[in-house]
Amino acid sequence: MNVKSCEKKEKSLVTLTIEVGPDEFNAAIEKAYKKNRRKYRVPGFRPGKATRKMIETVYGPQVFYDEAINEAFPDAYEAAVKEQELKVLDMPSVELDGIPSSAGFAFTATVPVYPEVTLGQYKGLSAPKQTVTVTEADVDERIKRLSDRNTRLVSVEREAKPGDTVVIDFEGFLNGEPFEGGKGEKHSLEIGSESFVPGFEEQLVGIKAGDEREINITFPDNYAPELAGKEAVFKVKAHEVKEKDAPEIDDEFAKDVSEFDTLEELRADLRRQVTEERQAAADREFEDELMNQVADGITADIPDILIERQSRQFVDNLKRQVLQQGLSYEQYLKMTGSDEEKLLEDAKEPALRQVRMDLAVTAIIEQEHLEAADEDREAEYEKLAEQSGMDKESIKKYFSQEQMTNQVLTQKAIAIVTESATATEPEAPSENSAEA
């Protein structure tokens, strides 16, 4: 094998021109002969017993060339890639150069490679960072959430009002005909939850157990295409009206919903939780802003394949999220009036941002000669185990050592950026933006 040329092109494509010499080609022809000799019929020989020379005499000297080229190509290509120290990203496109002969053959292989990345500034950056504050109203909101989770629904013999839950049967009609997905039985609906079509819940105010009524609505223009903008009538029957029975907010409440004995202790712990959450969010925003600056500052001729792969990953993640919500991917596409081609196209811009970010992080890891020690990986496994409530050995089944190494190195690279950065005061919103 001989690499005649290695030419770099746009979008980090490399074209290799590779020659396979007579000895290599002859060895490949011999392999092709041994694999395929039973296919050829030569007078006076049983199938598979004819010599290579006899088969070539009957069928022509090039009879095994195509198969031999397929035999010789992979080793020649891999040797060329190794010799040129290329980090290839995908399969090459290949073309033969000229006509193969007993002297061998030549081919060109064009392949996308990992781009050369030049870092811009990644130390000593600055970005705005929010100052964390927690008020009594914030703690009150957390108390309310706990109260809501521990609130019972109690049946009442009265008309329904906003905030009540009504148990109903319903069926929707378009032009007097029922439509698919428009029927439900013994469905619990909280008035004011905005979980049904706009205008539906408000018309349940005043209904009592045993009442029947018709509700007229118009589906929003951004609804499922077959219903968008259309007028519908829902026939509704109420089975039950329920009101919320909220607990008293006192020390007994604190004991019921937490490990604390007093409401004061619970409030203090909730304040701590809110503070930690907001600090973590402020840290993430600060980190994101800095890393966006780093990603914007790199110079790299990014191959299309990296963007295409990231776009595909975004769409695949969307598919999983849709399934988790109880919808099929096809239902989602129908409801949103989209298709996979459009989703992939829309994903290209965020995919490019993510690719630039990944390239920047990798470049910092190389520039700083960062390494992941065993204790680093173990610490990360322990952290994930604590966050998920699983044991460490179970976590190791889900995250390989290679994945954890990448995680540790990424965190170290980001830490170099954030720890050398300066936090500035966020700009106060202008009057115009506040009005908007």
CATH number, domain at 184? 3.10.50.40
Question: Does pLDDT of 164 surpass 90?
Answer: yes
Do 207 and 295 fall within a single domain?
A: no
DSSP 232: E
- The number of distinct structural domains making up the chain is 3
- Mark residue 240 as left, alpha or beta (left: phi above 0; alpha: psi -120 to 50; beta: remaining): beta
The predicted pLDDT at position 392 comes to 87
How do residues 265-323 score in pLDDT, each as one tens digit?
999 999 999 999 999 999 999 999 999 999 999 999 999 999 999 999 999 999 999 99
Is residue 141 in a domain? no
Is residue 195 in a domain? yes
pTM score, two decimals? 0.76
Do 318 and 428 fall within a single domain?
A: yes
Do 335 and 369 fall within a single domain?
A: yes
Is residue 209 in a domain? yes
How do residues 331-374 score in pLDDT, each as one tens digit?
889 888 889 999 999 999 999 999 999 999 999 999 999 999 99
How do residues 115-126 score in pLDDT, each as one tens digit?
999 999 999 999
Is residue 188 in a domain? yes
Question: Does pLDDT of 416 surpass 80?
Answer: yes
Do 71 and 45 fall within a single domain?
A: yes
Do 414 and 299 fall within a single domain?
A: yes
Is residue 126 in a domain? no
Strands 13-20 and 177-190 turn out to be unpaired
Question: Does pLDDT of 75 surpass 60?
Answer: yes
Residue 5 pairs with which residues in a beta bridge?
17
Do 314 and 226 fall within a single domain?
A: no
Mean pLDDT of 183-200: 93
Is residue 142 in a domain? no
Do 81 and 191 fall within a single domain?
A: no
Q: Dihedral of CA 228/229/233/239: which sign? A: positive
Q: How far is CA 77 from CA 66, 109, 112, 256, in A?
A: 16, 8, 14, 69
Structural domain that includes position 96: 2-112
Q: What is the mean pLDDT of the chain?
A: 94
Is residue 159 in a domain? yes
Is residue 255 in a domain? no
For residues 68 and 109, the answer to whether their CB atoms sit within 8 Å is no
